[in-house]
């Protein structure tokens, strides 16, 4: 693949990989013979991290990551070849089932992460040129994904999983309505609306999935379509009841020690409440409360990032990699925590989770947290699922002139504490 940012040097020196690849279904098989090679790769990875070029800006590096994630997915979907060319990795015996869903997973999750960058106004120059190309690719991909006559027409309503990724696709529309709705041709607008409406046949379980249904309805409101007030109201009311304190919601009536407050719950609550305000004031009293809770949880997330960019590998869906910090990235993008230390912390996490050897196979993500670790993936995880990592890139929606990008680098909280600096004590919020 021709790199779209050829002047950028990636921290971990990997061989460029073409995104055109022969179709394959991967049945996971882990053998001990890889142990030596993984250990050697880990040493090279650590050495490469120490040797990162000082001339490379954080934004250049993030754009390189965006290019690497988005290029294969959007180029193939726009051309109608995603189903043919994207590999499907999942647990042994589960590939055929996940193939029904994995392509919409990749598309919706990727767009949810890069939408703010597609939306931001950039000054003339190389980055804007690339942005214009990706804007066109994104709209062509929407056309291909929603056209019933397309070879890449995606599954929006069969089975339960499509509700999740209709939710992420809808979140992308909320984050870039001009690029992903207004500038679509009328036929594609009609097909996209029909695709999102079709997922209403899926009944969400009594947990964070309520927010996928609510996000779809918020997007339909923004799109000028008829939307279901009750689906939004039910999701908001239940999550208000499931609030546990100190910035944390339960995933349904029960607490789960995982990153779903960041993967889904808080980012979607914030986006739905912001987007629906012009169309209904019903939930406005909760908006400030939800944002304050999101700020607190994001502050906790910043403290979870160790001085070397690692973080606790706990809970479900850990193979979403740096997507575990979706909320922290969103709070930075919205200007709530847009500081140089957040930039540094997120950059460290992105490098740790996406530069590790084995993370990509012929240009496509593989299952793992730090490289290829297929047994970290639950049965519902497949290649497309992994593209939720793109949500860590949300601050690219801030212009290059924003202090988030231009201010000198600063250490984040754990770096300060573990080098002996004296800081104020942390305190719980309500």
| Residue 408: exposure state from Cβ atoms within 10 A (0-12, 13-18, ≥19) | exposed
Check pLDDT > 90 for residue 28. no
Where in 262-333 does DSSP place strands (E)? none
Q: How many Cβ atoms from other residues are within 10 Å of residue 182's Cβ?
A: 12
> 56: pLDDT confidence band, cut at 50, 70 and 90?
confident
- The predicted-structure confidence for 237-271, as pLDDT tens digits, reads as follows 999 999 999 999 999 999 999 999 999 999 999 99
> 430: pLDDT confidence band, cut at 50, 70 and 90?
confident
The residues near 277 (Cβ < 8 Å, ≥ 6 apart) are 284, 287
The residues near 328 (Cβ < 8 Å, ≥ 6 apart) are 262, 298, 301, 302, 337, 342, 345, 346
Instruction: Report percent pLDDT > 70 for the chain.
Output: 87
pLDDT for res 55: 56
Euclidean distance between CA atoms 141 and 152, whole angstroms:
9
Helices (H), 242-367: 260, 266-276, 284-304, 326-333, 340-354
CB 221 within 8 Å of CB 275? yes
Closest CA to 277 of 216, 237, 230, 218: 218
The larger pLDDT score, comparing residue 110 to residue 48, is at 110
pLDDT for res 93: 80
Q: For residue 166, what are the CA distances in angstroms to 108, 109, 171, 197, 354?
A: 7, 9, 8, 9, 25
Instruction: Report the 3 state secondary structure along 250-264.
Output: CCCCCCCCCCHHHHH
pLDDT for res 305: 98
The larger pLDDT score, comparing residue 184 to residue 44, is at 184
Euclidean distance between CA atoms 127 and 316, whole angstroms:
36
Check pLDDT > 80 for residue 424. yes
pLDDT for res 92: 77
Domains of the chain, CATH where assigned: 56-417 (1.50.10)
- The predicted-structure confidence for 71-117, as pLDDT tens digits, reads as follows 999 999 999 999 999 999 998 788 999 999 999 999 999 999 999 99
CB 222 within 8 Å of CB 178? no
**25-27/88-90 β-pairing:** parallel
Angle subtended by helix axes 326-333 and 266-276, to nearest 10: 30
- The predicted-structure confidence for 112-161, as pLDDT tens digits, reads as follows 999 999 999 999 999 999 999 999 999 999 999 999 999 999 999 999 99
Helices (H), 7-57: 35-50
- The predicted-structure confidence for 309-348, as pLDDT tens digits, reads as follows 999 999 999 999 999 999 999 999 999 999 999 999 999 9
């Amino acid at each position: 693949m021709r790199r779209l940012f050829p002047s950028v040097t990636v921290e971990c020196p990997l061989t460029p990989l073409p995104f055109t690849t022969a179709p394959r279904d991967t049945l996971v098989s882990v053998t001990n013979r890889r142990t030596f090679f993984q250990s050697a790769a880990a040493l090279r990875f650590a050495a490469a991290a120490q040797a990162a070029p000082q001339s490379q800006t954080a934004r250049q590096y993030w754009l390189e990551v965006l290019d690497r994630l988005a290029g294969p997915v959007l180029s193939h979907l726009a051309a109608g070849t995603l189903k043919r060319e994207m590999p499907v990795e999942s647990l042994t015996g589960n590939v055929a089932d996940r193939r029904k869903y994995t392509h919409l997973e990749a598309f919706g999750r990727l767009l949810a992460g890069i939408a703010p960058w597609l939306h931001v106004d950039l000054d003339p120059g190389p980055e804007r040129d690339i942005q214009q190309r990706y804007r066109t690719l994104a709209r062509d991909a929407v056309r291909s994904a929603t056209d019933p006559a397309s070879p890449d027409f995606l599954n929006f309503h069969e089975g339960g999983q499509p509700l999740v990724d209709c939710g992420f696709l809808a979140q992308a529309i909320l984050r870039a309505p001009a690029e992903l709705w207004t500038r679509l041709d009328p036929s594609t607008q009609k097909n996209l609306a029909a695709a999102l409406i079709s997922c209403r046949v899926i009944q969400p379980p009594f947990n964070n999935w309520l927010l996928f249904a609510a996000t779809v309805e918020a997007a339909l409101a923004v799109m000028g379509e008829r939307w279901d007030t009750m689906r939004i109201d039910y999701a908001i009311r239940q999550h208000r009841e499931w609030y546990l304190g100190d910035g944390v919601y339960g995933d349904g009536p029960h607490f789960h020690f995982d990153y779903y407050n960041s993967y889904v719950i808080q980012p979607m609550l914030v986006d739905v409440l912001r987007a629906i305000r012009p169309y209904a004031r019903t939930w406005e009293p909760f908006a400030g409360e939800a944002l304050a809770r999101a700020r607190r949880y994001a502050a906790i997330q910043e403290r979870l990032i160790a001085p070397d960019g690692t973080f606790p590998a706990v809970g479900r869906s850990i193979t979403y990699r740096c997507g575990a910090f979706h909320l922290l990235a969103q709070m930075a993008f919205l200007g709530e925590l847009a500081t140089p230390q957040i930039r540094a912390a997120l950059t460290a996490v992105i490098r740790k989770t996406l530069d590790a050897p084995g993370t990509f196979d012929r240009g496509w993500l593989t299952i793992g947290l730090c490289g290829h670790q297929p047994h970290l993936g639950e049965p519902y995880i497949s290649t497309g699922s992994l593209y939720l990592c793109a949500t860590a890139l949300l601050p690219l929606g801030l212009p290059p002139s924003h202090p988030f990008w231009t201010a000198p680098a600063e250490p984040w909280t754990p770096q300060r504490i573990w080098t002996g600096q004296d800081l104020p004590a942390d305190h719980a919020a309500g």
